[in-house]
Amino acid sequence: MKRYQLQAKSIIETLPFITEFYGKTIVIKYGGNAMIDEDLKHAFALNILLLKYIGINPVVVHGGGPQIGKMLKALNIESHFREGYRVTDQATMDVVEMVLVGKVNKEIVNLINLHGGQAVGLSGKDGRLITAEPKELAVEKKDAPPEIIDLGKVGEVTSVNTKLIHSLLNDGFIPVIAPVGVDEAGATYNINADSVAGAVATALGAKRLYLLTDVPGLLDAEGELITSLTAKEAFEAIRSGVVTGGMIPKITCCLEAVAGVEKSAIIDGRVENCILLELFTKSGVGTEIIY
């Protein structure tokens, strides 16, 4: 009986959080080890399903870099990266779209549905959900003009058509979005999933934006987790070099979204039930960025 009383107490303790988020939209970028480890995959699906059942609207945006790399290797198509971006020619773009939209997206949708949800897979092409343009990348040179890098079919979001997402949410569905966009002429672009998640969260006016990663969050110079940052502090952390490597685009994504989203967070996707822990506990499991 004592064990059940503790369970009941835990449920009661989540009530203030459920009340706060009821009817609100949460955008979650799903990637990293949480997409590979079988136990974490099932925990993720159950977390998403629980949010929907208690009246919160989850929207999932997913990545798929390792799966793309594996397919390109199998097809003997060589991958090239510049400044962390996969240079995407037309052959690579065909594989990216096939893997993200045709394979990874449907696997996530199927997993959520197998647990009792109603997930619907989308790409940026559906209902012109994500409009994009070629990404411009310039690398600063010490004693020379900046180098302009041609990334091919790598894009950045110019607009998000939220009508389709709202329609699905209102009818009880869970949108699962692949980060593929299309320009005004119909050309397809490979877009960074963090950037898509941030753009979708901003367009929807989401209550929260969560980016799942394979690290505890942002660490300070001593290796300690920084649990919370204001936008100003986050800018300073980038400028001073506290934020380095692959964490820079994630923090930047959170900063870009935070003006339209109440709070963004980089959370440890290796922790089982990380979404529930971040949403329904005071401590959370990552680094939050607030305006």
The structure tokens 């100003």 sit at 232
Asked if residue 110 belongs to a known ligand binding site, the reply is no
Q: Give the number of other CB atoms < 10 A from CB of residue 74.
A: 9
Asked if residue 84 belongs to a known ligand binding site, the reply is no
Beta strand 81-82 pairing with 85-86: antiparallel
**Bridge partners, residue 130, by sequence:** 160
Asked if residue 86 belongs to a known ligand binding site, the reply is yes
User: Cα(260)–Cα(231) distance, rounded to whole angstroms?
Assistant: 12
pLDDT at residue 50 tops 80 = yes
- Torsions phi, psi for 241 (to 5 deg): 90, 5
* Distance linking the first and last C-alpha atoms of the chain: 44
pLDDT given at position 180? 96
pLDDT at residue 40 tops 80 = yes
pLDDT at residue 189 tops 80 = yes
pLDDT given at position 208? 93
Which DSSP category does 34 fall into? G
pLDDT given at position 3? 84
pLDDT given at position 155? 93
Decide: 157 and 131 in contact? Cβ < 8 Å.
yes
Q: What is the pLDDT of residues 253-275, one digit of tens each?
A: 888 887 788 889 899 999 999 99
More confident residue, 258 or 70: 70
User: Cα(106)–Cα(92) distance, rounded to whole angstroms?
Assistant: 20
pLDDT at residue 145 tops 80 = no
Q: How confident is the model at residue 36 (pLDDT cuts 50, 70, 90)?
A: confident
- Highest-pLDDT range among 32-41, 136-145, 187-196, 250-259: 187-196
What does the block give as tokens for 117?
């949800």
Beta strand 188-191 pairing with 154-160: parallel
pLDDT at residue 137 tops 80 = no
User: Cα(253)–Cα(269) distance, rounded to whole angstroms?
Assistant: 17
Please tell me the least confidently modeled range out of 60-69, 142-151, 182-191.
Answer: 142-151
User: Helix (H, G, I), strand (E, B), or coil: what is residue 192?
Assistant: coil
What does the block give as tokens for 75?
């097809």
Which DSSP category does 225 fall into? B
What does the block give as tokens for 165?
């997402």
Q: What is the mean pLDDT of the chain?
A: 89
Decide: 269 and 34 in contact? Cβ < 8 Å.
yes
Query: What mean pLDDT do residues 71-86 have?
Result: 86
Q: How confident is the model at residue 215 (pLDDT cuts 50, 70, 90)?
A: confident
pLDDT given at position 34? 83
User: Helix (H, G, I), strand (E, B), or coil: what is residue 256?
Assistant: helix
pLDDT given at position 84? 72
